[in-house]
Amino acid sequence: MSFSGVKLPEFDTLVTRHTAAARQMEELASRLYGELTSAGLDTTPAERIRKLAAQVGQEAEDLRNRQRIVREIERHKINLGASVATGSLIAVPDSLRQAQGQLDGALAAKAAIAAGRGDAKAMAELQRYAGRVNDPDFVKTFLAKLGAKGMTELSAALGLQVRANVTSKRDPQQVKQVQQVMKLLATALAKGTDPEDQAFMGDTFLDQLKKEGRAEHKALEVTYVGYQAQALIWRASDGKPPFSKRFMEVVGRDAIVHQKELSDSRIPYANSMDLATVLGISDSMQPGGPRMGQPGEPIKASVIDDLAQAAQYSQPAAQALLFHTPKGWDKSIMKYLLTDRLDGFNMTGNYAPFAGLLRTALSGKDKESLKYANEALTILKDELKGVFELGGDGKLQIAKQDQLKRLSFLAGPIGSIMAAHIDQVFGVLEDGEPGLRGVRADEMDRLLAFVGSDAAATKALVEAEMQRMLSMMHESYRRDGGEQINEVLLPEARFMGHILETRRLYLLAQAKSDEQAREEMKSLINSALSELTGPTGKLAARFGLLGEKANEKLTPMAFEKLSALLVDRMLQEGMTTGSALQQASNERMMTMSMIKTMVLGTRIARGQWSAEARADLKGKSFATDSQPPALKPLDEIRADPVMFDDFIAWARWHTKVESTLQTVKEAMDNSAGVDVHESFKVETY
Amino acid sequence: MPGPDRELMQAAAQRIQKLSDDNWWALHDSCQLMEAEAWVGPTGNRFGQSVHDCQRELRAMLAQAVAMSRDELVKTR
């Protein structure tokens, strides 16, 4: 690239002269115009000169802007671009915008370094640059001037300042400023290490981060490895923008490998805590993102917790970090974290980042997600061996409380991952060719009981299965008008039996009474249904129900939508007190009531009523007066609650739901009451 | 004896000539400084070109104004 810049003092003279020329030409244009007009001559030359004057004026303004930047560069003795030997030449980026970005980036880096040394004025000045992170020139210059070493040591220096503040001055303003700087560092670092971002610094910078991350640094009396300080930048990320796949491939993986090396070569978990935790100021280093750690307790965060925090925001990044086996290892990073390193998460109790990381990496529809979800489930079912056993009273008992406690933070993420792969989980229990390898049916029951220890995760599973049921009904009606509906309902009901009963057994194993367990199970069904229904419910989102009219043509798509629309409405009514659904005696009866509603909604959406049903329309509020009578448009029926109820009663009568569902009910009872109990070798109770 | 119209026109032509003389060099310094590489680089080079073009056009316009006034003077008898 050729040199771009200015020569002093020539450039300053140019600015002055060009500015004067603009004024002079403007004056000339106006006087010439007067002369030409009064002499009755063509005024074109004067008009043309006025235009030229305006152009020169604009140029002069640009020159003054550039001069302002040049002055700043001179004043702060900043060197932008390639260094130039001749003293009177100053390198200035070609475009003004670029020049401004680079200047600000360099000034911000200078202020950051001064702030790291404790300069309060520089710290205040640094706050001004928060809005500049969208300018790639700013970010690049900022990162380049700080360097990987500077980034690392600045984080440590700021941490020490916070500690000094917390122990003596107690200036909340300063803590806030530090948090904002950490946020700035996190955003800049995420951008500068993302090959897709214009601010990408190149692979050398990533390698330098690695080198500094592994190196020992010292600040005051504290010796630390670089990653312990870099971790403070990672945890400051709120995912906007997320750290990239490349960052996780290069720095993220290395940080984990390095942590393992330290743990293996020094003492277990040596240097595993981030610097803020080491300094006891972890709470103060937590910026706007989701709060880490246990509610009401001081935040403890390990380097790996912080890395997980940064990696959880993008699926490619999360997968790049977890789905990789480092050189010389016999297992993937995911497996390492779920086995050898598992206790590390319990040491900090800072579960949310790793839980989020697992969710992001393993919940996708892609092949890798499924493959590793399978691996995670296999690991976990092994870890769960012996946890649930037959107790002396013939009931399920938690034989290894400690082991369950150790694993318990995984119940949430594993539950939502199983919900994301509900078809494959179903396959293990109900299909000849399961979509998950190496997990037997009784092992799946153990996994379900484990997920059953987490209310939210169980709800996610129930919801996922409810949606699956509706889809299966749609398929059945599309295939043959629901002739073989029981063939799909029986396995679905059995599967739901597993999900519900494992949770119930878990609750009973927690010394809950039958009555308490029943109430919890019923409220589980209700809360799953309330997630599904309503304008913000999952059905509305999945089928695009908002603002939909029912009387569309019955194309296959519209059929499913219409069915979902009716089911949604009827289930919402089912949520009101006194409804059949609410009066059901237990969770299985409630589920049956829901299944009935789904079948009915699907049946109505299909239309094509029998001659008998059509004959029965005569004189009904929802039928037309014509001969023979026909159904009024569904929108009209739906708009009138009384008419709608009459219509549903008619439809229910002619669908004959009740009789077909008896065997479905028996299937669910059988799987819940017998199969699940057999998995655990416990009595039926 | 020249008529009053001619006198007026002559004065006008002289003033236009003076305007031209006074402003002929308005952009000269900018051009020279750019030739002396006061500012280099792609944008700087474009600016240098533009300043030279601008000077050329300014002079052309001044020359045209002077020429018109002279022609008019000749016509005014």
pLDDT digits (tens, 9 = 90+) for A451-502: 999 999 999 999 999 999 999 999 999 999 888 898 999 999 999 999 999 9
Distance separating alpha carbons of residues A157 and A484, to the nearest angstrom: 70
CB contact under 8 Å between A59 and B9, yes or no, is no
- Asked which of A213-217, A220-224, A460-464 is least confident by mean pLDDT, the reply is A220-224
Q: How many CB atoms lie within 10 A of CB B31?
A: 18
| φ, ψ dihedrals at A665, nearest 5° | -60, -45
Q: What percent of chain A has pLDDT over 90?
A: 74
pLDDT recorded at residue A608 = 87
Closest CA to A680 of A384, A375, A377: A384
Are A262 and A225 spatial neighbours (Cβ–Cβ below 8 Å)?
Answer: yes
B43: nearest CA in chain A? A94
Closest CA to A319 of A376, A241, A238, A395: A376
Q: Which residue(s) pair with A388 in the sheet?
A: A398
pLDDT recorded at residue A544 = 81
* pLDDT tens digit sequence for B47-61: 999 999 999 999 999
Residue A76 or residue A46, greater confidence: A46
CA terminus-to-terminus distance, chain A: 80
CA of B1 to nearest chain A CA: how many angstroms apart? 21
CB contact under 8 Å between B19 and A42, yes or no, is no
Residue among B58, B62, B75 with most chain A CBs within 10 A, to mutate: B58
CA A388, A391, A397, A401 dihedral sign is negative
CA of A187 to nearest chain B CA: how many angstroms apart? 31
Q: Which residues from B are below 8 Å from A19, CB to CB? A: none
Q: Which residue(s) pair with B29 in the sheet?
A: none
- Name, in order, each residue with C-beta under 8 angstroms of A564's C-beta and a sequence gap of 6 or more: A470, A539, A542, A543, A545, A601
* pLDDT tens digit sequence for A270-294: 999 999 999 998 888 875 556 677 7
Q: Where are the alpha helices (DSSP H) in A584-656?
A: 587-606, 611-615, 634-639, 641-655
Please tell me if residue B46 touches chain A, with a CB cutoff of 8 Å. Answer: no
Please tell me if residue B51 touches chain A, with a CB cutoff of 8 Å. Answer: yes
CB contact under 8 Å between B57 and A32, yes or no, is no
* Tokens 């802007």 found at: A65
Q: Which residues from B are below 8 Å from A21, CB to CB? A: 26-27, 29-30
Q: Which residues from A are below 8 Å from B19, CB to CB? A: 28, 31-32, 35
Are A264 and A213 spatial neighbours (Cβ–Cβ below 8 Å)?
Answer: no
* pLDDT tens digit sequence for A1-34: 577 899 999 999 999 999 999 999 999 999 999 9
How high is the mean pLDDT of chain A? 91
State the count of interchain CB pairs (< 8 A) between A and B. Answer: 113
* pLDDT tens digit sequence for A298-356: 889 999 999 999 999 999 999 999 999 999 999 999 999 999 999 999 999 999 999 99
Report whether pLDDT(A81) > 70. no
> Given A7, A39, A94, which is nearest B37 (Cβ)?
A7
Report whether pLDDT(A667) > 80. yes
Please tell me if residue B50 touches chain A, with a CB cutoff of 8 Å. Answer: yes
> Given A3, A14, A56, which is nearest B54 (Cβ)?
A56
> Given A14, A24, A44, which is nearest B38 (Cβ)?
A14
Q: Where are the alpha helices (DSSP H) in A76-171?
A: 96-116, 120-126, 136-164
Phi-psi region at A304: left, alpha or beta (left = phi > 0; alpha = psi -120 to 50): alpha
Residue among A3, A30, A41, A44 with most chain B CBs within 10 A, to mutate: A41
Q: What percent of chain A has pLDDT over 70?
A: 96
3-state percent helix, strand, coil for chain B, nearest multiple of 5: 80, 5, 15
CB contact under 8 Å between B39 and A59, yes or no, is no
pLDDT recorded at residue A84 = 52
Closest CA to A308 of A327, A328, A333, A285: A333
CB contact under 8 Å between B27 and A21, yes or no, is yes
Q: How many CB atoms lie within 10 A of CB A47?
A: 14
Closest CA to A232 of A155, A167, A315, A120: A155
> Given B30, B50, B57, which is nearest A21 (Cβ)?
B30
CA terminus-to-terminus distance, chain B: 10
> Given B15, B23, B51, which is nearest A28 (Cβ)?
B23
pLDDT recorded at residue A499 = 97
Please tell me if residue B67 touches chain A, with a CB cutoff of 8 Å. Answer: no
Q: Which of A126-130, A212-216, A659-663 has the highest mean pLDDT?
A: A212-216
Mean pLDDT for the stretch of residues A408-436: 92
Q: Which residues from A are below 8 Å from B39, CB to CB? A: 5-7, 11, 14, 66
CB contact under 8 Å between A41 and B37, yes or no, is no
User: What residues in chain A have their Cβ under 8 A from chain B's Cβ atoms?
Assistant: 2-7, 10-11, 13-14, 17-18, 21, 24-25, 28, 31-32, 35-36, 38-42, 44-46, 48-49, 52, 55-56, 59, 66, 92, 94-96
A45: nearest CA in chain B? B61
pLDDT recorded at residue B1 = 46
pTM of the model: 0.86
> Given B22, B30, B37, which is nearest A17 (Cβ)?
B30
CA of A362 to nearest chain B CA: how many angstroms apart? 50
In which band, very low, low, confident or very high, does the pLDDT at A80 lie, cut at 50, 70 and 90?
confident
In which band, very low, low, confident or very high, does the pLDDT at A85 lie, cut at 50, 70 and 90?
very low
* pLDDT tens digit sequence for A604-619: 998 889 899 999 998 8
CA of B24 to nearest chain A CA: how many angstroms apart? 10
Distance separating alpha carbons of residues A627 and A250, to the nearest angstrom: 76
> Given B27, B40, B47, which is nearest A5 (Cβ)?
B40
